[in-house]
Chain A
Amino acid sequence: MRTKFILIPIVLMLCLSLVLSGCSKPQVLTKVKLSEVTHSIFYAPQYVAMTQGFFKEEGLDIELSNGAGADKVMTAVLSGQADIGFAGPEASVYVYNQGKEDHSVVFAQLTTGDGTFLMGRKADPDFKWSDLQGKTVIGGRKGGMPAIVLQYVLSKNGLTAGKDVFIDTSMQFAAMPGAFIGGQGDYAIIFEPTASSMVKEGKAYIVASLGKESGEVPYTAYFTKKSSIDSNPELLQKFTNAIYKGQRWVANHTPEEIAQAIKPQFPEENEQVLVSSVKHYQEQNSWKTDPVLSEKDFYLLQQIIKDAGELDKIAPYEEVVTKKFAEITMKNIK
């Protein structure tokens, strides 16, 4: 007799759960494979867009992968392994100049100015760029943005790379922090949060910011194949919308709030390191407040690369960049 009474509420609960599950709308999100050049707090607005649900609002599910280098990100995009690539615009210029037909087109810019920090072995509050005379700086890869911008900053301060300062470009990107700590070179240029991490361990000190010296050179931006621009404009518009929302969120929140928001993307990093990294980038206005990559900045970028001897001809803005998605998103998202 008693068991029958227990059955009734159980059956009622089961029916209720069935009804409720039928009521919720299944969310169909479009998967977007995004390859980023490296995983850095330099790209905070993107991670904010992921963790604060801006991509989800636009119906997109981002599958993020670390390309570990602009060349690998570009390869992933050109071969179809990634839908959208996130790296320096110079990669798209190189590809266009080499004559590829379905070349990549840049459609949204996230960061402006260099994102690396000059690290030395001792704290140096009175650091002057002339201190680098006769020294060796571990600068990433030859032909990569960090090394090119370093050369530009050095020349702005009257130092010639190769003569006054030796830029060591022999090492693989992943090996640089370890090599510097191990005693290689006098200085190194490092992204965040690795830079603050090294400071926290007492292994190195940030002596200067390349971003403050570099001017507004477009450093990292989103690109995809030209054919994708023509065939998937709605998807790219939604993507740009989400990025713009991320940019505006970051512009309106404190470093502590931003650090909290991006924490899930940097699970092994100490909170202090996160906040300090965010502060560094925010102070130097690394994060654009809109995704438009302007002609002026695009040609500045190419001039810098040309001066470094890595570019033979200047690529036309109309071929390699499009600002239509960025302009529409600024009009629609208020």
Chain B
Amino acid sequence: MFKQGHESTPDETKKSNLSLEHIEYLRRVRMEKIYIRVIQFLIVVFALGLWELCANAKIVDPFITSQPSRVFKTMLRLYEEGVLFHHIGVTCLEAIVAFVLGTLLGTMIAIILWWSEFLYKILEPYLVVLNSLPKIALGPVFIVWIGAGPSVIIVMTLAISLIVTTLEVLNGFLAIDEDKIKLVQTFGGTKLQVLTKVILPASAPTFINALKINVGLSWVGVIVGEFLVSKAGLGYLIVYGGQVFKLDLVMTSVIILGVAATVMYQGVVLLEKILLRNKV
């Protein structure tokens, strides 16, 4: 195996403290990462190319599916009209606000439920029912309660993401090793100290998972909210495009949405690396 790679001198090996096999292994890991990125890029290029060709050859109906060239033209037109970043900005702002609120509220509620097991036992069945309710159907009701404005969008998103986040974080708390808690308690630790010294630090991975789930749900909630009530934003463009049959507008918004949601998800992944690196 180690005969295939570059031969490192005994000095090199001594300096880096790594064996030959280890260096070779690291090189292979790096190469694999590069291969994966290249193939991912090629898939995107290939898919876009195939889409454009099929649309031009009328194998798929470009009226319904649009095509990359039309999507690009639409984006350009929106940019020239000066509204492109306005719509993207509105939706992204709603998504970020809803995401942060959902995470904070979800974590706080999870802490409260962890603190009082009695309260949790009482509320558990209600949480399950609330979780299964189709909040989308309650949309028109939200408007009557809150009035038609951006707050409805935030509320709709919270309705969709809050309980799932809470339960996910709570389950993370409850799964912490009992022995660690006992350890702190034998040293005379209060409940608050158990919380801050054991539970919160140990549930960082669960917390990150909850964030990842929350990103997806926040975007769903924001778009559902915009379908319900909106004067601007990517969801608004989708509704308007559908209304006047400018399906290019619909497809363009969907694609921008996909990119924005991916960027937000990558943000969480970055956060994960930072948090977990410090842990190790």
> Which residues does A use to contact B, with CB under 8 Å?
69-71, 74, 78, 91, 94-95, 98-101, 141-144, 168-172, 174-175, 178-179, 181-184, 310
Residues of chain A lying within 8 A (CB to CB) of residue B243: 69-71, 141-144
Pairwise interchain contact A170-B229, C-beta atoms closer than 8 A = yes
Residues of chain A lying within 8 A (CB to CB) of residue B84: none
A189, chain B: closest CB distance, angstroms: 15
Give which listed residue, A71, A172, A184, contacts B245 with CB less than 8 A: A71
Give which listed residue, A91, A98, A100, A182, contacts B144 with CB less than 8 A: A182
Residues of chain B lying within 8 A (CB to CB) of residue A310: 244
B247, chain A: closest CB distance, angstroms: 7
B153, chain A: closest CB distance, angstroms: 11
Q: Assuming the A-B contacts A98-B63, A100-B61, A168-B148, are A175 and B143 also in contact, with contact meaning beta carbons closer than 8 angstroms in the complex?
A: yes
Pairwise interchain contact A91-B245, C-beta atoms closer than 8 A = yes
Residues of chain A lying within 8 A (CB to CB) of residue B227: 172
In the complex, A174 Cα to B229 Cα: how many Å? 11
A226, chain B: closest CB distance, angstroms: 13
Digitize B59-96: 1 where CB-to-A-CB distance is under 8 Å, 0 elsewhere: 00101100000000000000000000000000000000
**B231 part of interface (Cβ distance < 8 Å):** yes
Pairwise interchain contact A175-B228, C-beta atoms closer than 8 A = yes
Q: Which of A74, A181, A182 has the most CB of B within 10 A?
A: A182
**B212 part of interface (Cβ distance < 8 Å):** no
Taking A70-B243, A95-B63, A181-B144 as given, write out 12 further A-B residue pairs in contact, using a Cβ cutoff of 8 Å, ordered by the A residue number. A91-B245, A143-B243, A170-B148, A170-B231, A170-B236, A171-B143, A171-B148, A178-B140, A178-B143, A179-B143, A179-B144, A184-B147
In the complex, A196 Cα to B114 Cα: how many Å? 52
**B240 part of interface (Cβ distance < 8 Å):** yes
- Tell me the nearest residue of chain A to B147, going by C-beta: A184
> Which residues does B use to contact A, with CB under 8 Å?
58, 61, 63-64, 139-141, 143-145, 147-148, 227-231, 236, 239-240, 242-247
In the complex, A307 Cα to B81 Cα: how many Å? 20
A-B contact count (CB 8 A): 74
- Tell me the nearest residue of chain A to B231, going by C-beta: A170
Interface residues of B, dominant DSSP: helix
Residues of chain A lying within 8 A (CB to CB) of residue B239: 141
Residues of chain B lying within 8 A (CB to CB) of residue A71: 242-243, 245
A129, chain B: closest CB distance, angstroms: 24
Pairwise interchain contact B240-A170, C-beta atoms closer than 8 A = no
Pairwise interchain contact B228-A171, C-beta atoms closer than 8 A = yes
Residues of chain A lying within 8 A (CB to CB) of residue B228: 171-172, 175
Residues of chain B lying within 8 A (CB to CB) of residue A178: 140-141, 143-144
- Tell me the nearest residue of chain B to A96, going by C-beta: B245
Give which listed residue, B58, B64, B140, B247, contacts A172 with CB less than 8 A: B140
Give which listed residue, B61, B141, B148, B245, contacts A74 with CB less than 8 A: B245
Residues of chain B lying within 8 A (CB to CB) of residue A99: 63
Residues of chain A lying within 8 A (CB to CB) of residue B58: 101
Pairwise interchain contact B244-A184, C-beta atoms closer than 8 A = no
- Tell me the nearest residue of chain B to A102, going by C-beta: B61
List 27 A-B residue pairs with CB atoms under 8 Å apart, sorted by A's residue number.
A71-B243, A74-B245, A91-B245, A98-B63, A98-B245, A99-B63, A100-B63, A101-B61, A142-B240, A142-B243, A143-B244, A144-B243, A170-B229, A170-B231, A171-B148, A171-B228, A172-B139, A172-B228, A172-B229, A175-B148, A175-B228, A179-B143, A179-B144, A181-B144, A182-B144, A184-B148, A310-B244
Residues of chain A lying within 8 A (CB to CB) of residue B245: 71, 74, 91, 94-95, 98
B253, chain A: closest CB distance, angstroms: 15
In the complex, A171 Cα to B140 Cα: how many Å? 9
A98, chain B: closest CB distance, angstroms: 5
- Tell me the nearest residue of chain A to B228, going by C-beta: A172
- Tell me the nearest residue of chain A to B232, going by C-beta: A170
Residues of chain A lying within 8 A (CB to CB) of residue B247: 98
B194, chain A: closest CB distance, angstroms: 46
